[in-house]
Chains A and B, each alone.
Chain A
Amino acid sequence: MSEMINQTEMREKYLRKGMLPSIFCNGCGHGSSLDYTFRAIEELGLDLDNMVFASGIGCSSRIPGYINADGLHTTHGRSLAFATGVKAANPELDVVVFSGDGDATGIGGNHFIHAARRNIDITVIILNNFIYGMTGGQVAPTSPKGTIATTAPYGNLEGAFDISELAKSLGAAYVARWPVFYPSQPIKSIKDAIQTKGFSLVELMSPCPTAYGRRNKLGNIKKLWDWYEDNSILAEEYDKIMNYGTDEEKAETINKIKIGVFQHTEKVGFFEAYEEQIANLMANDDKKWGGSK
Chain B
Amino acid sequence: MRYELDPVRVRKILGNKKQFIMGDMAIAYGGLLAGVGFFGGYPITPASEVAEGMARMLPRAGGTFIQMEDEIASMAAIIGAAWSGTKTMTATSGPGFSLMMENYGYAIMTETPCVIANVQRTGPSTGQPTQGAQGDMLQTRWGSHGDMMAIALCPSTVQECLDMTIEAFNLSEKYRHPVVLLADGEVGHLREKVVIPDVDEMELIERIEATVDKDKFIPYSESQTNPGSKVPDFPTFGSGYRSYVTGLTHNDMGFPATDKQPDHERLINRLVSKITDDREKLTDVEEIELEDAEIVFVTYGASARPAESAVRMARAKGIKAGMLRLKLVWPFPEKAIYELSKKVSKIIVPEMSLGQMVHPVREFAAKDCEVIVAPKVGGVMHLPVELLAYLEEGSQ
Which residues of chain A have a CB within 8 Å of any CB of chain B? 16, 18-19, 48-50, 52, 54, 64-65, 68-75, 78, 81-93, 110-111, 114, 118, 271, 274-275, 277-278, 281-282, 285, 289, 293
Q: Which of B246-254, B301-309, B332-340, B362-370 contacts A (4 or more CB under 8 A)?
A: B246-254
**B residues in contact with A16, CB < 8 Å:** 242, 244
Contact in complex: B84, A93 (CB < 8 Å): yes
Contact in complex: A89, B64 (CB < 8 Å): yes
What 0/1 pattern do residues 286 to 307 of B give for CB contact below 8 A with A? Answer: 0000000000000000000000
Contact in complex: B79, A82 (CB < 8 Å): yes
Q: Which size class do B's interface residues fall under?
A: 35 or more
- Asked whether any CB of chain A lies closer than 8 Å to the CB of B12, the reply is yes
- Asked whether any CB of chain A lies closer than 8 Å to the CB of B59, the reply is yes
Instruction: Give the one of A49, A52, A71, A89 with max B CB within 10 A.
Output: A89
Contact in complex: A71, B245 (CB < 8 Å): yes
Contact in complex: A114, B244 (CB < 8 Å): no
Contact in complex: B12, A89 (CB < 8 Å): no
| Chain B nearest Cβ from A198, distance in angstroms | 16
Please judge, given known A-B contacts A75-B102, A75-B103, A88-B66, whether A93 and B80 are in contact too, CB under 8 Å.
Answer: no
- Taken together as a complex, chains A and B put the C-alpha atoms of A71 and B241 apart, in Å, by 10
Please judge, given known A-B contacts A16-B244, A73-B248, A90-B1, whether A50 and B238 are in contact too, CB under 8 Å.
Answer: yes
What 0/1 pattern do residues 226 to 250 of B give for CB contact below 8 A with A? Answer: 0000000001011111111111100
Which residues of chain B have a CB within 8 Å of any CB of chain A? 1-3, 6, 8-9, 12-13, 37-38, 40, 59-60, 62, 64, 66, 68-70, 72-74, 76-86, 88, 102-103, 106, 235, 237-248, 253, 255-256
- Taken together as a complex, chains A and B put the C-alpha atoms of A273 and B78 apart, in Å, by 20
Residue of A nearest to B253 (CB): A18
Task: Say which residue of A70, A91, A293 sits within 8 Å of B243 (CB atoms).
Answer: A70
Please judge, given known A-B contacts A74-B106, A75-B106, whether A90 and B2 are in contact too, CB under 8 Å.
Answer: yes
- Taken together as a complex, chains A and B put the C-alpha atoms of A271 and B245 apart, in Å, by 24
Contact in complex: B88, A85 (CB < 8 Å): yes
| Chain A nearest Cβ from B88, distance in angstroms | 7
A to B CB contacts below 8 Å, 12 in the list: A54-B80, A65-B255, A72-B80, A75-B106, A81-B73, A83-B80, A88-B38, A90-B238, A110-B69, A110-B70, A118-B66, A278-B60
**B residues in contact with A65, CB < 8 Å:** 244, 246, 255-256
Contact in complex: A48, B242 (CB < 8 Å): yes
**B residues in contact with A75, CB < 8 Å:** 76, 102-103, 106, 247
**A residues in contact with B256, CB < 8 Å:** 19, 65
Return the 3 tightest CB-CB contacts between A and B, nearest first.
A85-B80, A89-B84, A85-B81
Contact in complex: B1, A91 (CB < 8 Å): yes
Task: Say which residue of A93, A278, A289, A293 sits within 8 Å of B237 (CB atoms).
Answer: A93
**A residues in contact with B241, CB < 8 Å:** 70
Contact in complex: B81, A282 (CB < 8 Å): no
Please judge, given known A-B contacts A75-B76, A110-B70, A275-B1, whether A90 and B237 are in contact too, CB under 8 Å.
Answer: yes
Contact in complex: B247, A74 (CB < 8 Å): yes
| Chain B nearest Cβ from A268, distance in angstroms | 16
Please judge, given known A-B contacts A81-B73, A90-B1, whether A49 and B240 are in contact too, CB under 8 Å.
Answer: yes
Contact in complex: A293, B84 (CB < 8 Å): no
| Chain A nearest Cβ from B265, distance in angstroms | 21
**A residues in contact with B74, CB < 8 Å:** 81
**A residues in contact with B6, CB < 8 Å:** 293
Residue of A nearest to B62 (CB): A278
**B residues in contact with A271, CB < 8 Å:** 64
**A residues in contact with B246, CB < 8 Å:** 65, 71, 73
Please judge, given known A-B contacts A70-B242, A85-B76, A93-B84, whether A111 and B106 are in contact too, CB under 8 Å.
Answer: no
Please judge, given known A-B contacts A289-B12, A293-B8, whether A92 and B1 are in contact too, CB under 8 Å.
Answer: yes
| Chain A nearest Cβ from B164, distance in angstroms | 24
**B residues in contact with A85, CB < 8 Å:** 38, 40, 76-84, 88
**B residues in contact with A88, CB < 8 Å:** 38, 40, 64, 66, 77, 80-81, 84
Contact in complex: B76, A82 (CB < 8 Å): yes
- Taken together as a complex, chains A and B put the C-alpha atoms of A14 and B228 apart, in Å, by 34
Contact in complex: A281, B73 (CB < 8 Å): no
- Taken together as a complex, chains A and B put the C-alpha atoms of A293 and B13 apart, in Å, by 10
- Taken together as a complex, chains A and B put the C-alpha atoms of A277 and B59 apart, in Å, by 8
- Taken together as a complex, chains A and B put the C-alpha atoms of A289 and B11 apart, in Å, by 12
| Chain A nearest Cβ from B59, distance in angstroms | 5
**B residues in contact with A92, CB < 8 Å:** 1, 238
